[in-house]
Structure 1
């Protein structure tokens, strides 16, 4: 294996996957929320960048081709598990998350069973959009939760009079008490909608993959 920049970015994304959750064991909130968000967004950007650079610089490798989907799934699965914990087992988060995780495990098992034949099933554009939708939905929800944690800290540390005055002041410059509350709610609604869209796309691509794999699953007579 050659330590090319694309491969280094892929390995970095793999390492960032558990770090997104582990920061909550090491840092207080809301700092942990913002660090986790930065790690997730940075790692998500490398998902596009490593493949682009590998093709542009002619640095594609078997190691990169093997590790790239593993890093993607590790990042998504870890972040989804974190969202379930941070949402307090909210059904609106748990249901689409369970559907996404089911599809990812099912397709991974199917790929393993097919072995060499799995390479004959090309990744579709819809599957790429599915991954993008998942990462955008997770990023938006992590942002919403970070704003909500920031707002909660303000509520817990400020006097009641100062907190109420900040809310009454509205969207003035630098009023993070008001902004964190309003933005947290708005981004939370948007993130949930995106997560459900990602779940639907995930199921569609999973069904398509299974359908295309059927010829390789038929018993020989």
Structure 2
């Protein structure tokens, strides 16, 4: 066990706390939820940075980091779907969640085929993740209907478009392997 892996585990441990705080009926709960989400988002960057910098990458960390990221994003999106209770927020949230399921399954299948490298994370995927985290942070921090919440929704739509774009790229990269398996 090393510090990058502990940061990843901490991100997973934040998830139940995030949910409990989300449902507390106090005026301070949503800013605290947003702060906790921001801290978790920073650990997403920090654990990878430290693992590379300190040469502490492990197979466990390589497996757990994307799982922690996806869990955090899906839980935040599910909470926001309930909070906003609107199709215009649910639609990009479902696009993002659906893409995560498809790409996770694709990566698993490609790893079984010995071709995991052909669906490695791209710069579009990294940009998508960054915009997702920013959008979710804004949407958690601000009241639905406020200017900042509208900015958060717009950012979530941009992230959803990048989500589709990156999914298409991953599927194109994997297509030669997929078509041979049909």
Check the 8 A contact 1:17/1:71 in 2, yes or no.
no
Give yes or no for contact 1:18–1:75 (8 Å, CA) kept in 2. Answer: no
Q: Distance in 1 between matches of 2:120 and 2:97?
A: 21
Cα 1:218–1:45 shift into 2, 3 Å:
same
Query: Residue 56 of structure 2: SS of its match in structure 1?
Result: coil
Give the structure-1-normalised TM-score: 0.76
TM-score with structure 2 setting the length:
0.92
Partner-residue secondary structure (3-state), 1:218: helix
Aligned to 1:33: 30
Runs of 4+ in 1 over 6 A off after TM superposition: none
Count, aligned residues: 180
Q: 1-side partners of 2:168 and 2:83: how far apart?
A: 30
1:15-164 map, 5 Å? 15-25=13-23, 27-87=24-84, 89-114=85-110, 115=112, 116-145=114-143
Residues in 1 aligned to 2:159 and 2:79: alpha-carbon distance in whole angstroms:
17
The aligned counterpart of 1:190 is: 151
- The answer to whether the Cα contact below 8 Å between 2:92 and 2:156 also exists between their aligned partners in 1 is yes
Please report how far the alpha carbon of residue 220 of structure 1 lies from its aligned counterpart in structure 2 after TM superposition: 6.1
Q: CA RMSD in A?
A: 1.7
Residue matched to 2:170:
209
Q: Any stretches of 5+ residues in structure 1 without a counterpart? A: 149-183
Equivalent residues of 1:18, 1:78 under 8 A apart? no
* Partner residue, 1:12: 10
C-alpha displacement of 1:198: 0.5
- Point out the more displaced range, 101-110 or 115-124: 115-124
Q: Distance in 2 between matches of 1:10 and 1:194?
A: 25
Cα deviation, residue 113, structure 1: 2.2
SS for the counterpart of 1:219 is: helix
Residues 14-62 of structure 1 show CA distances to partners (whole Å, capped at 9, x for unaligned) of 111232222234x323232122111100000011111111111111111
SS at match of 1:30: coil
8 A contact 2:118–2:173 mirrored in 1: no
